[in-house]
Amino acid sequence: MKHLDEAQLIDIAFGAPPDAHLDTCDSCRERLATLHVGLHAVKQVKRDPVPLGPPVTARAIRMRRWRFAGWAAAAALVIASLSGLQVSLSAEGFSVKFATWGGESSSDEALQIRLQETENQIVKALELHAQVLQMQVDDRFNAIYAENAQQLKELSRQMENNLQSVDYQNGVMIASLRDDMHSFIEAERLKGKLP
């Protein structure tokens, strides 16, 4: 006796006329019964449709992609300018100090002032970048999600996280820059170039 295969039983479970084989085969009847039980149970737990969100439009998708591209670009800008700052600092700040410290004598106090000035400049630059970043984000924010409070909330959470991470990176960068400068000063002092 050839039993019904899985596809045949599924067809019957979904409304195809029952095969005569079922009249004579307990095993296949049992398998079909299990399918019916499974199907009934699965239908029982069907979830209600999700409430429909705002219509998906080509414009929204373009904006969404742009938002992510914008974010990546803004983040890259901050990181690059941080590195850039560091580079330009070593080109201007450090190298100037090299020249100053290598050649002319300079008092420790003057160096400390210089150090403080440099640090203030870094902080100012970072604040400026953060402001630019914030402005860019705000623009996208208003443009894209003005009409959707839920997405607005989500976006603002993401934005906060991103800004926090940039803040953290800035802090690390400043701390390490400071350490570098202090060790440099210490090294120069040991070499006797500084008082």
Partner 1 sequence: MESMADLELVARAQRGESPAFDALMLRYQTRVSNMVYRYVEDRDVASDLVQDIFVKIYTHLKRFKGESSFSTWLFRIAANDCIDHIRRQKTRKETSLELISEYGFDPADPRDESVDERLIEAADHQMVRLAIRQLDADQKMVLVMKVYEEMTFEDIAAALALPLSTVKSRLYKALEHVGRQVRRRQLIERIGT
Kindly list the residues in this chain that would bind Zn ion in the complex (CB under 5 A).
Answer: 3, 25, 27-28
Q: Does 13 bind partner 1 (CB under 8 A)?
A: yes
Cβ 14 to partner 1, closest distance in Å?
8
Q: Note whether 50 binds partner 1 by CB under 8 A.
A: yes
To Zn ion, the closest distance from the beta carbon of 19 in angstroms equals 9
Q: Going by C-beta distance under 8 Å and a sequence separation of 6 or more, which residues neighbour residue 190?
A: none
* Residue closer to partner 1 (CB basis): 24 or 44: 44
- Cβ(174)–Cβ(182) below 8 Å: no
Instruction: Please identify, using beta-carbon distances, which residue of 112 and 158 lies nearer to partner 1.
Output: 158
Among positions 17-36, residues that touch partner 1 (CB under 8 A) are 31, 33-36
How many Å apart are CA 176 and CA 180, to the nearest integer?
6
Minimum distance of Zn ion from residue 42's CB (angstroms): 24
Q: From the list Zn ion, partner 1, none, pick the one residue 28 interacts with, judged by a Cβ distance below 5 to 8 Å according to partner type.
A: Zn ion
Q: Coil, strand, or helix at residue 175?
A: helix
Residue 161 makes contact with partner 1 by CB under 8 A: no
d(CA 107, CA 183): 16
The CA distance from 136 to 67, in Å, is: 10
Is 122 within 8 Å of 181 (Cβ atoms)? no
**Cβ–Cβ < 8 Å for 90, 83:** no
Q: Which does residue 24 bind out of Zn ion, partner 1, none, counting CB within 5 to 8 angstroms by kind?
A: none
Q: Which is nearer to Zn ion, 19 or 119 (CB)?
A: 19
Please select the residue that binds partner 1; options are 15, 17, 23, 45, rule is CB under 8 A. Answer: 45
Q: CB-based burial of residue 8 (10 Å sphere; 0-12 exposed, 13-18 middle, 19+ buried)?
A: middle
What's the min distance (Å) between Cβ of 8 and Zn ion?
A: 10
Which region holds residue 192: left if phi is over 0, alpha if psi is between -120 and 50, else beta? Answer: left
Amino acid found at 6: E
Which one of Zn ion, partner 1, none interacts with residue 82, CB within 5 to 8 A by kind? none
Q: Which helix (H) or strand (E) holds 49?
A: none
User: By the criterion CB under 8 A, which residues form the site for partner 1?
Assistant: 6-7, 9-11, 13-14, 31, 33-39, 41-47, 49-50, 52-53, 55-59, 61-62, 64-65
